[in-house]
Amino acid sequence: MSAIPSVPRSGRTRSWWGWGYTDAHPDDAECAAMGALLPGTLARPLPIPRIDDLLIARPAVTPPPSLAHLVTDDPRARAAHAMGKAYRDVIRALRARPGRIPDLVAHPTCDREVADLLAWAGEHDVAVIPFGGGSSVVGGVEYRGDAHRAVLSLDLTSMDRVLEIDTAGRSAHIQAGALGPVLEEQLRPHGLTLRHFPQSFEFSTLGGWLATRAGGHYATVHTHIDDFVQSLRVITPAGAGTSWRLPASGAGPSPDRFFLGSEGALGVITEAWMRLQERPCHKASASVAFTDFHRALDAVRAIAQSDLAPANCRLLDAGEALFSGASHDGSSVLVLGFESATGPVGDRLASAVDLARAHSGRVEMPPADRDASAGSAVSAWRSAFLRMPYLRDGLARMGAVVETFETAATWDKIPALIDAVRTEVGAAALKITGHPATVNCRLTHVYPDGAAPYFTVAVAGRPGDEVEVWDDIKAVAGEILHRHRATITHHHAVGRDHRAGYDLQRPEPFALALRAAKDALDPCRILNPGVLLD
């Protein structure tokens, strides 16, 4: 099949400093109203930052004429590629302290251009940072340090086409720069979907998901992008390679696993064959309230260890449920959802509800096999889930320190881990800032052997020192995760901000192998760095 034309992009303006679209940001009045709920925040919101207020130096390098048409030094483009969308990125932009801004931004359209850009960069001491949608919340798209003459942000979003669809094998050959909506709109006419919907879906790319081993929205079975990969094509300074497209193989270490989660450190993922699914047409949902959070944990574990495989099995503690509007009586709320492309799912939902009732859950259930949850806890949660990153930026404008960190642990450690984070992070935030903090928890993904708790911390910061406050709170949180043998990240990349925790957790033989691989790909060791394609 020939390449499928990509869909037109949204005409809305992306924010260069904060999450999402500029027209979706809270206005000053909404920011002030949110700030009033958190003691110690500013009297009025910080102004929206202007690119004209940034100190953007002239580029330290000039691309050759053969590459000039791919590269821009436009200040707005450079500023938009300087950082990701973590809290510390947003507050630094609000304080006009974005760090090192890339000298150039490149938009290659094919593998050959990616290879040529890497070759030129290697010859001229230019650091290259692969860039997808820029939604990184771990410092993954930011250059830190001064080891290179210049920095090039390699934006792959011009490579956004579905190149081929294999309907018999239910898979597709896709360029890595496709943003979530662009990818799905090309699959929709074929009745197919990748079915990977992280919260950053609108603002992240297939290549970014692969390079960070991203988690999606769905709570069980296929929770991470790894589950959908058939093969990858990667351009490295040492050459290009494409793994074989196979349903499974036991032939030695997986070549794809080498690059999945590598975060661009080993090469640039430019294409992938991905497993697809039929678009679901049968859906059903319900919410279950619990007065005892630990009983709710038991209910979630029972559902995870059944064969029901819910698409959504998200447990909100009382604080999270109140914030999202899912509950106003101090209850924790379990949001359940089932879907299928082949048949009704009402019986599966009913079985999950029975398991929840057996653990003292009180059920709100729309009519079976219908996604009719308007006005319910399910609908309230969905709206809050999509709106949350914008609200976080609004609170940042009020000088609040607010961010979510995520992890995963085995069931035997989950209750103590949650209790420790709530108690110790809350106490540390109070000690650091002098203001009371809220620490809410939700379980987003559940497995037979464990679960993924996500924690949201909110506290008034010290004006001008918000990043330092968050770093101090994060250090406390990281120590707790390490003590309870919980992963430093369940849902997305390690990046620069999780590096300390990651180094504590990875086995040393793996670390040695990774360092050897990076050395082998060092362009300074390549005899002919200009010959990159196989």
The per-residue pLDDT for 521 is 67
Please give the single-letter amino acid code of residue 29. Answer: A
User: What pLDDT sits at residue 532?
Assistant: 33
Same domain for 79 and 226? yes
**134 annotated among ligand-binding-site residues:** yes
Same domain? For 238 and 209 the reply is: yes
Residue 336 in contact with residue 286, Cβ under 8 Å?
yes
184 in any annotated domain: yes
pLDDT of residue 259: 93
b/e burial code for range 454-474 (CB count within 10 A of at least 16 → b): bbbbbbbbeeebbbebbebbb
Say which CATH number the domain at 60 has.
Answer: 3.30.465.10
In a domain, 313, yes or no: yes
Q: 180: annotated binding-site residue?
A: no
Distance CA 392, CA 21 (A): 14
Cα 459 to Cα 476: distance, rounded to the nearest angstrom? 15
Per-residue pLDDT of the chain (534 residues; tens, 9 = 90+): 445 655 556 679 999 999 999 999 999 999 999 999 999 999 999 999 999 999 999 999 999 999 999 999 999 999 999 999 999 999 999 999 998 999 999 999 999 999 999 999 999 999 999 999 999 999 999 999 889 999 999 999 999 999 999 999 999 999 999 999 999 999 999 999 999 999 999 999 999 999 999 999 999 999 999 999 999 999 998 899 999 999 999 998 898 988 999 999 889 999 999 999 999 999 999 999 999 999 999 999 999 999 999 999 999 999 999 988 888 899 999 999 999 999 999 999 999 999 999 999 999 766 544 444 444 667 777 777 778 999 999 999 999 999 899 999 999 999 999 999 999 999 999 999 999 999 999 999 999 999 999 999 999 999 999 999 999 999 999 999 999 999 999 998 999 898 888 888 887 777 787 777 777 766 543 333 333 333
**In Å, how far are 33, 106, 385, 510 from 208, measured between CA atoms?**
35, 16, 21, 23
Question: Do 201 and 330 reside in the same domain of the chain?
Answer: no
Same domain, 413 and 345: no
Work out the angle between the directed axes of helices 377-397 and 87-94 (0-180°, nearest 10): 40
- Cβ 128 vs Cβ 154: under 8 Å: yes
Would residue 43 count as lying in a domain?
A: no
Matching residue, tokens 């000053």: 28
The span from the CA of 146 to the CA of 310, in Å, is: 48
290 occurs within a structural domain: yes
Token duo for residue 468: 């330092």
Provide CB contacts within 8 A for 412, sequence distance 6+. Answer: none
Give the list of residues 6+ apart from residue 146 with CB closer than 8 angstroms, or none: none
* Cα 348-350-351 angle, rounded to 5 deg: 65
Helix axes 426-433, 466-483, angle to 10 degrees: 150
Choosing from 343, 365, 387, the residue where a domain stops is 365
Strand ranges (E), 407-464: 409-410, 438-447, 450-460
Residue 8 counted as domain residue: no
CATH number at residue 306: 3.30.70.3450
258 shares a domain with 135: yes
Which residues are annotated as catalytic?
454
Residue 231 annotated as lining a ligand binding site: no
| Residue 224 sits in the same domain as residue 295 | no
The verdict on 290 and 251 lying in the same domain is no
Q: Total domain count for the chain?
A: 3
Q: Is 457 part of any domain?
A: yes
Q: Is 361 annotated as a binding residue?
A: no
DSSP 331-387: -EEEEEEEEESSS--HHHHHHHHHHHHTTT-EEE-PSTTS---TTSHHHHHHHHHHH
Mapped onto helix, strand or coil, the DSSP state of residue 288 is strand
353-395: pLDDT as tens digits: 999 999 999 997 665 444 444 446 677 777 777 789 999 999 9
Closest CA to 386 of 40, 78, 24: 24
CA 98 from centroid of its chain's CA atoms:
21
264 is annotated as contributing to ligand binding: yes
In a shared domain, residues 470 and 336: no
Question: How far is 277 from 34, CA to CA, in rounded Å?
Answer: 41
- pLDDT at residue number 507: 76
End-to-end CA separation in angstroms for the chain: 24
DSSP 8-state symbol, 425: I
For 302, the domain range is 282-365
Determine, yes or no, domain membership for 450.
yes
Scan for tokens 């207020």, then name that residue: 53
Q: Are residues 318 and 197 in the same domain?
A: no
Same domain, 128 and 146: yes
pLDDT digits over 63-106, tens only? 999 999 999 999 999 999 999 999 999 999 999 999 899 999 99
Q: Examine the fold and report which residue of 365, 384, 410 is the final residue of a domain before the chain moves on.
A: 365
- Cβ-based neighbours of 386, under 8 Å, separated by 6 or more: 199
Both tokens of 75, joined, read 């200040």
Residues 254 and 308 in one domain: no
Would the CA dihedral through 371, 375, 381, 384 be positive or negative?
positive
Say yes or no: 256 and 312 in one domain: no
Whether residue 268 is annotated as binding a ligand: the answer is yes
In CATH, what number is assigned to the domain containing residue 450? 3.30.300.330
In a domain, 152, yes or no: yes
